[in-house]
Each structure stands twice: as C-alpha cells, then as structure tokens.
Amino acid sequence: MKKFRIFLSLKKEEEWINSIQEEGYRLVSVSSVVPIYTFEKLASKETFIPYVRLDFREKSMGKVKYEDYVTLFSDSGWKLIKGSRFGGAQYFQQEYPDVTRDIFSDTDSQESVKKRYVKYGYTYGTLFLLYFFIFFSSNSWNLDKILNFKSWYFTQGLWEMEGMWFWKAFIFETPFVLLRVLPLFFFLFLGIYYLLRSLINDDSTVITK
C-alpha cells in the first residue's frame, strides 16, 4: 500500500505513520524524491506491530560517522528504514516488542531534534526564497507577468492564431515556457514550505509519546 502525504510537522508525520501501522501495516520504505510512504500488510493481527520514531539531522555526516550513528540505534533495537548521511529525517523502526518506544534518552535530546528541524527549515527556506528573487529579477518578471500566463509565451501573434496553426505554435513553445516558469514556482513553493514548517514547529511540543 502506498500513500502520499506532505507534513509540516515531524511529530505529526511520526503520529500518522504509527496510526497506519496500528491498522495492521508495517512501514517498509519512504521515497527520497516525493513523500510517498510504502506499507505492507502484516500476516495477522497477532503479529508484532512495530513502532516508528523519527530523528532529524540538519548537517551531513561522514560515511563512518553515519554508520556508527545507525549502528548505535541498531544495537538498541531500532532498524533504519530510510535516512541519509547528508541530513534530513531519519526513520527508525522498532525491531522487537520488548524494545522501549523512546529513542531519546532525555528531554534535552528531544528538544535538540526539534531545534535541528526548525534550523534546517529556516536555512533552506531562506535559501530557496533567495533563489526565487534572483531568478525573478534576472528574468524581468513582475506580478502582472506571473498572473497572466499568456505573457509567458513569446511567439508573436500566438493568441490571434486559429486552428492547427495555433496548436502547433502553442505546443512547440510550451516546453520552453515550462523551463522558464517552473523554476520560479519551484523555488517559491519550497521557500514558503520550509519557512512555514519552521514557524509551525517553533511553537510545537516536543516529540514524545
């Protein structure tokens, strides 16, 4: 079973994953490109339902250091489902029923996860909005151009053409239009998303059960 979800809160994401698992599923993978979660159905209701915990790293780690990091969790009974030594969310799944559901030793560790998550969002949110304004300025965009999609096309007389002549010219230019326009909206979306995520989690509670 595959599910698509976008979250602004690490805590909400963790709670949602575990709510799906409680219905008799196990998380098996999380896509790195788009937020698609893959679950497999357990054999029976009596089967052990593992718990999932999320850690977050805002900085990259060397290969050996990351292996030590994963091994530390593994020795405590937590299997890495998805993660990267280059940072981001790290998804750990409980391997045995007698393993404690808390992967953080104290409140300070829990607070550190939230702080890393918030810092990461502010950093990348600011960076993507900076890219947006650079791209916006370098291509002579203005609000009227963004709202009027006809101005995205440069073919003279395109909107006065009719029939096949119109469709041929329209289809021919559209890929070039997308190359000019999509990066603008992509940077804007990611900038707003990361900043909004950080603003929400600045006031959220500590990830705990």
Residue spans of the domains in the chain: they are 2-103, 108-202
CA–CA distance, 197 with 125 (Å, rounded to integer): 9
Task: Please give the pLDDT value at position 149.
Answer: 84
The rounded average pLDDT for each run of 10 residues, N- to C-terminus, in the chain (209 residues) is 92 94 93 91 81 91 94 93 93 90 78 87 92 82 80 90 92 92 90 89 53
The single-letter DSSP state of residue 95 is -
pTM reported for the whole predicted model:
0.76
Ramachandran angles phi, psi of 99, nearest 5°? -80, 130
81 burial level (CB within 10 Å; 0-12, 13-18, 19+): buried
- pLDDT for 203: 59
